[in-house]
Every structure is written in C-alpha cells, then in structure tokens.
Chain A
Amino acid sequence: MIAADIISKRTVTSTASATAQKQKIKVNIVVCLKQILDPEIPSRDFRVDSEKMEAQRGGASLVTNIFCENALETALQFREKFGGRITALIFAPAGGEDSLRKALAMKADAAVHVINDGAAHPDPLAVARVLAAAVRRLGNIDLVMVGRESGDWGVGQTGGLMAEELGIPSVSFVDRLEKQERGLLLHRQTDQGWENVEAQTPLVVTITNDDQNLPRIPKTRDIMLSSRQPIIRWSLEDLAADDAGIDVAEIRAGGGYYRVVDLAIPTKEIVCEMVAGETLEERVDQLADRIMSVVRSL
C-alpha cells in the first residue's frame, strides 16, 4: 500500500488494480531502540567517569530509552488499526538484546541486533550510519520510527541524520500517525501547540510522548515466548560488506562527527528555606511575601 503507492505511480496504470494492491501490502515499519542507564537513578547515586566520558554504571540497571518505547507503542497502535509489520532494531553491545526481547514481548514482529563491539558511545552520525545501513539491508522499509531523544545524552539527532543517510524526508516530535488515502497523516507537537502534517513514505519520524502512547506492559506469557523468538544478529562487517557508507574502523573508534572532551557533575549548593510560622495561615502569609518580593524584583 504505502510503498506500493510510490511504485504504482510509475508502473500501474489501472487505478482499480492499484487500489487492490494497496490493500494487500503491509506498511513495513522499523522502530530503532536505544538502551540507556536508568535515568531514574537519584542524583546522590550518580557518578561520572571523566576518563571514559560516561556515567558510571554503579548499581543502576540498563533500560530501553522511554521515547524509543513511545515509538514502539505508536507503531503497535498503528499496526492494530492499519496493519503492518514491525521490526525492532538496535545497535548495542550484547546486553542490548534485553531491549529487543522486551520489544518482542510487546509484540514487535521481528528483531535485529547490530552488535556494537567498539566505543561505548559512538557519536550520532556513526549511530545514524549504522542504523541506516541496517534499514537498507532489511529492504523495502516504508517507515522508520525513532525516539525524539535519549534519556542519557539527549542528543536528539538520530532521526534527522538517518533521514539524510537514507535520502528521505523526516518529521519530528510526532505523537500520533494514521494512514490516509495517500500516504500518512502525522500529528506532531510544536512549541505553541500542534501541527498536522501530510507525508508520503518512505519517511523517518521521531516520536515524542503524549497520553496516547504510554508503552504497554507486556503479558507474562509474551515475555516467556519472546525469550525463544529468533533475533537476527549482524556485525559491523556484515553491514560494511554490502554498504560503502560504513567505515567499520571509524565507527568502532566512535566516529568522526564530534567527541566529548569534558564530562562533570556541576556543584551547586542551594539551601531551601522553609517558611516558618505557628499556624498554616502564618506560613502561607510568609510564602506569599516571598513570592511577591521575587515577582516585584523581576
């Protein structure tokens, strides 16, 4: 249907047969995942390694980035309404498999793991090149969905850079999408409210959260089933073999786009003064005074 949309313009002359074909072909979706250090760890337990330029793992667990899960949830809801096939894709060390298993438990149709055996935090262009090469290798992808940013480095570039690597358009901050007669209708958040955007596939969208796409909790049975489902594993060499865009040595070294030269925890000591008073009324009066004195100084 959607991929066929583009092809049909060139090859199919009969509208009737094009429509018939549209209804049969599924939207092929790839959802890209990132595994990150649990962002909920409290500040007091947070340490950085200023040599490796990354957070220390400590006792924290690794989780799938929330916006990636929002993206997967949006994809699942799209499939429920309009049909389609969802492939979860991750570029991560061996442990990244946990995120893929969870995606399968949430009912993604397939999972692809590109093994990262190089730098722990490759730069955004290195990541986008690997993911784009994996998308090309999968073939016939209509829609690439990624989270708007990650909860660790919050770089916010993967979607845009993937669009450029794939040579296709992209739309950011999408929270809902629907299939229409031709192409897709995307609802996205803006600074002031929202916009509706019409788009043709193939397309990259970055997904943000709203009250509609909170990730579902997988059923126990599906979690058990997911542990036995196949995962496709590719090495960087596998990708480089049929993709000139992949420079394995550069990606293992972290990429040539940017490098982190400093990482530190800012020291900021603020003492909160709790308003005092015998009664609630007195304390609220104090609070009002403090508020007004700040407001008047602005």
Chain B
Amino acid sequence: MSRVIGIIFSSAGYDRAAQGVTGAGRRLADALGLPLQMVVVGGGGGDLAGSLAAVADAVTVLTVTGVADYQPEQTLAALTDLCRGEGAQAVLLGNDTWSQELAPRLAHRLGGSAAGDGVELVIADGRLRVSRSVYGGKAMATIELLRDPAVVWIRARAFDPATAREVPAPIESLEAAPTGEPATFIIERKSEVTGEARLEDAQVIVSGGRGLGGPEPFTDLQDLAGLLGGQTAASRAACDSGWCPPSWQVGQTGRKVAPGLYLAVAIRGASQHLAGISEAKTIAAINNDPDALIFKHCRFGIVEDYRKVLPLLRERLAAMRKE
C-alpha cells in the first residue's frame, strides 16, 4: 500500500518543472521498490493527467468542492487526507510558490520531515537524504530526514524527466469535501510574467542589476531578450529599487532559474544572486568592473559600460538574426 507521491499544481501544465518532479519521483520509487502515484491538484489539467499517466503507476486528479484551483487551508487538508490514505512513504513537490507554502505543513500533519530546494535525492540506510545549496550558494549540504514520510520540494528543473512506461497508468478523479470554514481566501490574482513562458522555463534570460541605475534600461534589456527569444529578469537590488516588478527577481530570495544562457548586465554578482543561477548552463556578463564577482562564474564576458555595449549589441544581433 506504501508509495511515492508526486504533487503537481495543474495551472503549470506538464512543463519542465512537472517533468522534473515526475522524473525524480520515478527514480525514487524505483530505488524504494514502490509504485509512483502522481497527483494533479486543481483538476482541469486534461493533458497534464495524460502526460503523467504515461510515466507514473497511478494518476489522481484532486479537486476540492468549491475551490477553483488552490486555497491554502483547503488544499492542504485534502492533500493530507490523500497522502495518509495512500500510505505515502515519500512526497515530492516542485519549488513553485504553492508547493513551498504547503510542504512543511504537509510534513507536519503527516508526522514526517520536510526539506526544500533539493537538487539530489539518495536513500542511505533506509532514510532519504536531500542535497541542497546553503549559505547563499557558497556551500552544499546533505540533509537526512529523520521522520517518515519524507516531504521534499525540489529544484524541479535540475532533475531529468521520466521515460514513458509500456502501459499508461489509470487516471482517477477525486473530489474532496471542503473542511470547515476557509480561514484564508485568495480573492484576486495577477500575472506579471514577462512573456509566454515562466522565468523558470526560459532558455535565455537577459538580466539587469543595480549598475543599470534606473528603470529605463530595462526596456533595452527587453528588446535584447526579444531578439534572443528569451525573457527579462533582474537582481534583488534592481527589484528593491522598484525598477521592475518583484516577480522578475532572480536569486536566493527570488526565482531559481536554469536557462541555457544567462546574460547578466550590470550585475555585480552577489552570492545572493548567484544562488539563483547555479543551474544556468552558460553565464555571460556585461560589466564595467573587471573585478565584478559575476565574471568568476562566466564562460565569457565584456568589461565595458553597458550603455556603450547595448546599442551595438542589439544592432549586431538583429543583423545576425536576418542572416
């Protein structure tokens, strides 16, 4: 009856994060010799459930009567009942807002232990060990969870997707009754995503920092990102200065991104910021300070005032695109 449960919030679809959670879940389930049950929260994800059924042993679409997609207290209660009923040995979630909000509370209700931001999961002596970056990315720690079940939210994009099974899993729908009176209620929601995709899914990110000196240059960064088919982001300093929305913030305290190319413009490279880009494949920088810490993490870069570089770079990239 015991199993590994992966939880996906349906609004995100079967994106890179959902693939990572499922892939990590598959490997953990195999290591433990247990089935993998994927749970879609909020229903509505027709092809999300279908995609999960191709790689999991069971799929449950979980809704709460009267809740469109997510309400913290209601969703938490429904997930607790489900995990308890299925005898969850381990529960995996992504590192989106809702997963991070619920994971510790879910662990507590199940009498288990939680750890977050995991980039590697191993079983040692029957206990789950989670590796994660700490001290703003300056060190890596391995944490052993001492209580069952283990509830872990992972840096989903750091994990490979699962491969398809021969026979797709059955998809089951479960409608939970709401519990008591909701004590919190999301009444309004606004999306400020910079383009089609979420920052976490972007292949190219052009990011600006304190050195930009004001909100105006972000328009140039957006142009540049547009030329490269990418998205725009920012450092904490730029967001705190109100030059761009907080949802653009990349770093330990913002989004953790994993693009193929991260172009840092006028970003010094505080460890706080670097912690958010450790999964980027290639980092490049434009900075007028040759000693800027960002260069220690770059494959290539240019030491120059961004004001001089950006117009020329945009012109050159636009020409190359036409070629």
Chain A residues within 8 Å of B, Cβ to Cβ = 37, 39-40, 42-43, 46, 48, 53, 55, 66-67, 124-125, 148-149, 151-157, 159-161, 163-165, 168-173, 175, 189-200, 203, 208-211, 214, 256-266, 270, 272-275, 280-281, 283-285, 287-288, 290-292, 294-295, 297-298
Indicate if the CB atoms of A199 and B185 lie closer than 8 Å.
yes
Contact A257 B191 (CB under 8 A): no
Is residue B84 within 8 Å, beta carbon to beta carbon, of the partner chain? no
Specify which of B96, B138, B184 is in contact with A198 (CB 8 Å cutoff): B184
Instruction: List residues of chain B with CB within 8 A of the CB of A258.
Output: 113, 115, 143-146
Kindly list chain A residues whose C-beta atoms are within 8 Å of the C-beta of B185.
197-199
Complex CA distance for A139 and B270, rounded to whole angstroms: 41
Secondary structure type dominating chain B contacts: mixed
Q: Is the CB of B316 within 8 A of A155?
A: no
| Shortest Cβ distance from residue A68 to the other chain B in the assembled complex, whole angstroms | 12
Per-residue CB contact flags for chain B residues 268-291 toward chain A (1 = under 8 Å, else 0) read 001110010000001011100010
Give the distance in Å from the alpha carbon of A265 to the alpha carbon of B136 in the complex.
Answer: 11
B161 to chain A, nearest CB (A): 17
Among B30-38, B102-110, B164-172, which stretch is in contact with chain A?
B102-110
A66 contacts across to B, CB distance below 8 A = 253
Task: Please give the number of chain B residues whose Cβ is less than 8 angstroms from any Cβ of chain A in the complex.
Answer: 92
Q: Does B260 contact A (CB under 8 A)?
A: yes
Known: A39-B136, A197-B186. A294 touches B261 (CB 8 A): yes
List 6 additional A-B contacts (Cβ < 8 Å) besides A39-B136, A195-B188, A266-B139. A152-B136, A165-B108, A194-B247, A263-B141, A272-B300, A287-B300
Q: Is the CB of A160 within 8 A of B108?
A: yes
Given contacts A198-B184, A259-B143, contact A173 B97 (CB under 8 A): yes
Interface flags, B290-323, vs A, CB<8A=1, else 0: 1001011111111110001100110011001000
User: What separation, in Å, do the CA atoms of A170 and B184 have in the docked complex?
Assistant: 8
Whether B247 lies near A262 (C-beta < 8 A) is no
Q: Does B263 contact A (CB under 8 A)?
A: yes
Contact of A197 (CB < 8 Å), options: B103, B187, B271, B293: B187
Interface contact B139-A210, CB-CB below 8 Å: no
> Which residues of B pack against A, CB within 8 Å?
72-73, 96-98, 100-105, 108-109, 113-117, 129, 131, 133-136, 138-147, 183-193, 198, 200, 203-204, 228-229, 236, 239-242, 245-247, 252-253, 255, 260-261, 263, 270-272, 275, 282, 284-286, 290, 293, 295-304, 308-309, 312-313, 316-317, 320
Whether B317 lies near A291 (C-beta < 8 A) is yes
Question: Which of chain B's residues have a CB closer than 8 A to the CB of A298?
Answer: 203-204, 260-261
